Amino acid sequence: MQLAEPVASSWRASLALEFGFENSKTTLGRKVHDGPLVVQKPLYPEGPEICHAIVVHPPGGIAGGDELSLNVQTDKNASTLLTTPGAAKWYRSAGPWAKQSVAFAVQGALEWLPQETIVFDGALAESAYDVDLGAQAGFIGWDIVCLGRTGSGERFVRGTFRSSIRIRREGRLLWLERGRIDGGGRLLDSPAGLAGSPVFGTLFASAPAIDSKILDRLRKHKPTLGAGAVTLLPGVLLARYLGGSSEAARHYFIALWRILRPALLGREAVEPRIWQT
C-alpha cells in the first residue's frame, strides 16, 4: 500500500461568503478568496429564495502545514445551502499540523451538508466549527469522519485528529464539544469511545424553537449499517452515527435532514444536484 507523501510546501487558503436577500431572492453578494478554496456558481433548484452553492478545494486533499478557512455570513431572510463535491482528505504528515476552521454567522437560514472527511493514517489534523446564530436564525449541519482509508484496509494507527464544535445563539453558548483521537490509542477500540468503528458523525441543528415531538419521528430512522442516536438539548438537536460506513452515515443523516428541514426551516427537502453525480 502506497502512502501519500508529505509535500514540501503548504497551502494557506481562505474563502469568505456573504449572502443577502433582496427582491425576494437570496444572492451571493460578497465573495473573497485567497488560495485554492473557491465556490462555484450559485444555483437555484428550489427557486430564487434559496441559494445552493458548492465549496471546492481544488487540490482535493489537506497536507501537513495546510491551513483552510471558510467564513460564511447569511443576512436576515437569506437562505443558503452549502455542500462539497466529494470527500475531503487529510494526508499523513511528517510533522506539521493541517488545520481547517469553519465559521458561520447566521441571521437567516444556513445548511452545511458536506461530504465525508477521510483522515489518512499518520495525519495530524485539526478541524474547528464555530457557529454564531441570531435570534431568529435556523441552522442544520453535519460532520462525518472516517479514520483511515477503510476501502484499502488502512487503519488509523498513527497521527492525531482533533476537533471542536461550538454553537452560540445571540452570544449564549448552546453547545461546545472538543475531541482528540490518537492513532492506535485506546479510544479507538474502547466501548466508551469508538468501539472499533472507523466512522463517526455528528448532525447538529438549531432553531428558535424545536418541538420535542420531532424526536419520535427522527428516532424511527436507523442507519443501514452501524448505530445512530438523536438527542434534544436546550436550543440544539444532535444526532450521532457510529459504524463502519461513510455512505451509511450520510444516508442516515440525509433521512434525518428530510424531517428536520421542513420542521425547523419551513421548507421541503430538495437534495443538491451534486449528490446525484
pLDDT in tens, 18-50: 999 999 999 999 999 998 899 999 999 999 999
pTM reported for the whole predicted model: 0.93
- Backbone phi, then psi, for 259, in 5-degree steps? -85, -45
CA pair distance 146, 81, nearest whole angstrom? 23
CA pair distance 213, 218, nearest whole angstrom? 9
Residues 6+ apart with CB under 8 A from 264: 138, 140, 205, 206, 207, 210
Residues 6+ apart with CB under 8 A from 246: 87, 116, 118, 144, 146, 199
pLDDT in tens, 200-225: 999 999 999 999 999 999 999 999 99
Domain boundaries, given as residue ranges, for the chain = 12-276
pLDDT at 233 over 50: yes
Task: List C-alpha distances in Å: 68 to 62, 79, 99, 210.
Answer: 8, 24, 6, 33
pLDDT in tens, 51-67: 999 999 888 789 999 99
